[in-house]
Amino acid sequence: QVHLVESGGGLVQAGGSLTVSCTASGRTLSSYALAWFRQAPGKDREFVAAIGWHGYTKYYGVSVKGRFTISRDNAKNTVDLQMNNLDPEDTAVYYCACDAKRVLPINYETYTGGDYSDLYDYWGQGARVTVIS
């Protein structure tokens, strides 16, 4: 069992930066693919970013590419999402997730197996990020 807890959400002005973090307990994350998703009010859950066990394989959603960076520290059992040049459209609850079946994430851009989020086995409770203009 993996228990994920997000932190670092909050209120930020448009154009600003914020980092949300996810800490795991119950099992080491070093062998698993990790990801961030988000869900805005009234919208479906959206893929944000994913990272492989070694930190080199990374995928990003179209709307955040070039602005957000995912990283991980296996020694600390954490995964971070650094968000730059934030826009009110980035307002959402951000969730970290763990795919305990794979060391590398499935490529989001080429995945055709259905809902990409279904690949992930464990989820945190979410961190709310609000971007004001």
Write down the pLDDT at residue 26: 85
Question: Two tokens at 115?
Answer: 């809902």
Query: How many angstroms separate the CA atoms of 85 and 74, rounded?
Result: 27
Write down the pLDDT at residue 27: 82
Mode of pairing for the β-strands spanning 45-51 and 58-60: antiparallel
80-101 burial: b if 16+ Cβ within 10 Å, else e: bbbbeebeeebbbbbbbbbbee
Write down the pLDDT at residue 133: 93
The one-digit pLDDT tens for each residue of the chain (133 residues) are 889 999 999 999 999 999 999 999 888 888 899 999 999 999 999 999 999 999 999 999 999 999 999 999 999 999 999 999 999 999 999 999 999 999 999 999 999 999 999 999 999 999 999 999 9
